């Protein structure tokens, strides 16, 4: 199952880069990263591959999220009103996916390991949980909300920091090239490959430390982290030096983020292909960000330069 998940992530990342990055002189990272993490959840967790259903879902989901952050005035043409209509369409599509999965399950064409909907439907049929289809749709929306924006923010900030950190980018690239050296050009990444991306993950953790400050602000407390505002992934060489519950970008305890391993894997797969293929410069020198309450980067336009073509295009 893990192998299948990473293969699908790998496929989504390559497809996304081929469609949106290859051949471009500039790209705007934040919306692209959002679309990538949305597509990964749809494909890996929902079993919903590329196509018109996913396109419509992505467009309506975006409107729904915008409405959640807008002034709640429900009159025609307001963001809120458009978001309510979009939310009804999102639920309709997710309901339809659940019905399709149920039909496949009844015909014996699928099993609980296939995707989130089938898994929930099997739980329901076993009678262990009194789930309705609306409950399953609610949980699918929660997964999308919790999973796509967070990971996309991390990808965006990683690219933003790395633009100004050539040494760190160089070390990441070295690690990723070493992993690629023993693989065929179109051979997907495996769990073993991802487990070897130790330095790249330290850089991601440093980004989480710098940007995803916990509510209790331990991340920026000099009692726990030397020079906490300095971008310094080397601090994670000795992780045992961080006291328990002081580095908590994914929360902690029983409510800790259930998507943390998923996020780690998708970030590493995305970085593998991005750093090997491109170099980039920030178009705007000092793009700030706001907290809303998670950090929201500005759009982050970057100038792209292609390094090489390390894999065969899927197109």
Instruction: Please report, for residues 3, 17, 106, 269, the alpha-carbon distance to residue 181 in angstroms, rounded to integers and kept in the order given.
Output: 20, 20, 45, 15
Taking the complex as a whole, the smallest distance from the CB of residue 273 to ligand HEM amounts, in Å, to: 18
Half-sphere exposure of 33 (CA within 13 A, CB side): 30
Taking the complex as a whole, the smallest distance from the CB of residue 66 to ligand HEM amounts, in Å, to: 20
**Cα 261 vs. chain centroid, distance in angstroms?**
11
Q: Name the residue nearer to ligand HEM (CB basis): 188 or 259.
A: 259
Instruction: Please report, for residues 45, 101, 266, the alpha-carbon distance to residue 117 in angstroms, rounded to integers and kept in the order given.
Output: 8, 7, 21
Taking the complex as a whole, the smallest distance from the CB of residue 17 to ligand HEM amounts, in Å, to: 19
Spatial distance between the Cα atoms of 145 and 244, rounded to a whole number of angstroms: 28
Q: Name the residue nearer to ligand HEM (CB basis): 5 or 180.
A: 5
Taking the complex as a whole, the smallest distance from the CB of residue 212 to ligand HEM amounts, in Å, to: 5
Record the tokens describing residue 37, joined without a space. 């993490």
Instruction: Please report, for residues 116, 269, 310, the alpha-carbon distance to residue 143 in angstroms, rounded to integers and kept in the order given.
Output: 10, 20, 33
Spatial distance between the Cα atoms of 173 and 183, rounded to a whole number of angstroms: 15
Interface characters, 214-253, with ligand HEM (x: CB under 6 A): -----------------------------------xxx--
Length of the chain equals 315
Q: Name the residue nearer to ligand HEM (CB basis): 188 or 249.
A: 249
Answer yes or no whether residue 297 interacts with ligand HEM by CB under 6 A.
no
Instruction: Return the residue of 84, 143, 296, 298 that touches ligand HEM, per CB under 6 A.
Output: 143
Q: Name the residue nearer to ligand HEM (CB basis): 166 or 258.
A: 258
DSSP H stretches of helix in 127-252: 133-163, 166-181, 191-195, 198-211
Instruction: Return the residue of 146, 246, 282, 304 that touches ligand HEM, per CB under 6 A.
Output: 146
Q: Phi/psi class of residue 280: alpha, beta or left (left: φ > 0; alpha: ψ in -120 to 50)?
A: beta
* Bridge partners, residue 306, by sequence: 278
Instruction: Return the residue of 38, 46, 212, 225 that touches ligand HEM, per CB under 6 A.
Output: 212
Select from 81-89, 113-121, 129-137, 149-157 the region that touches ligand HEM (CB under 6 A): 149-157
Taking the complex as a whole, the smallest distance from the CB of residue 309 to ligand HEM amounts, in Å, to: 29
Q: Is 284 annotated as a binding residue?
A: no
Contact status, residue 219 vs residue 247, Cβ threshold 8 Å: yes
**Cα 81 vs. chain centroid, distance in angstroms?**
28
**# binding residues, ligand HEM (CB under 6 A):** 19
Instruction: Return the residue of 43, 48, 118, 150 that touches ligand HEM, per CB under 6 A.
Output: 150
User: Whose CA is closest to 301, among 5, 30, 22, 17?
Assistant: 30
Interface characters, 39-68, with ligand HEM (x: CB under 6 A): --x---------------------------
Q: Name the residue nearer to ligand HEM (CB basis): 31 or 251.
A: 251
Interface characters, 250-279, with ligand HEM (x: CB under 6 A): xx---xxxxx--xx----------------
Is the CA virtual torsion 170, 154, 264, 216 positive or negative?
positive
Question: Which residues are part of a known binding site?
Answer: 257
Site residues (vs ligand HEM, CB under 6 A): 41, 142-143, 146-147, 150-151, 154, 212, 249-251, 255-259, 262-263
């Amino acid at each position: 199952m893990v192998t299948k998940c990473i293969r699908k992530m790998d496929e989504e990342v390559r497809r996304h880069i081929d469609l949106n990055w290859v051949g471009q002189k500039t790209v705007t990272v934040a919306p692209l990263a959002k679309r990538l993490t949305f597509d990964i959840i749809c494909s890996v967790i929902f079993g919903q591959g590329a196509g018109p259903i996913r396109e419509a879902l992505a467009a309506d989901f975006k409107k729904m999220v915008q409405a959640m952050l807008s002034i709640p005035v429900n009159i025609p043409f307001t963001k809120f009103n458009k978001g309510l209509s979009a939310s009804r369409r999102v639920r309709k599509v997710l309901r339809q996916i659940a019905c399709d999965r149920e039909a496949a399950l009844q015909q014996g064409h699928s099993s609980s390991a296939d995707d989130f909907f089938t898994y929930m439907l099997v739980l329901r049929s076993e009678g262990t949980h009194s789930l309705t289809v609306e409950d399953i749709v609610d949980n699918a929306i929660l997964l999308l909300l919790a999973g796509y924006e967070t990971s996309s923010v991390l990808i965006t900030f990683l690219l933003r920091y790395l633009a100004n950190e050539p040494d760190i980018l160089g070390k990441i690239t070295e690690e990723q090239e070493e992993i690629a050296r023993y693989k065929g050009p179109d051979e997907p990444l495996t769990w073993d490959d991802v487990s070897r991306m130790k330095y790249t993950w330290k850089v991601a953790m440093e980004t989480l430390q710098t940007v995803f400050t916990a509510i209790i602000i331990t991340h920026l407390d000099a009692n726990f982290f030397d020079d906490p505002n300095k971008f310094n992934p080397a601090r994670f060489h000795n992780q045992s030096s961080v006291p328990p519950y002081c580095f908590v970008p994914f929360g902690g305890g029983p409510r800790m983020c259930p998507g943390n391993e998923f996020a780690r894997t998708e970030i590493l797969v995305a970085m593998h292909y991005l750093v090997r293929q491109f170099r980039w410069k920030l178009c705007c020198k000092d793009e700030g960000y706001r907290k809303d309450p998670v950090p929201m980067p500005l759009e982050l336009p970057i100038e792209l330069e292609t390094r090489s073509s390390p894999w065969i295009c899927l197109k």
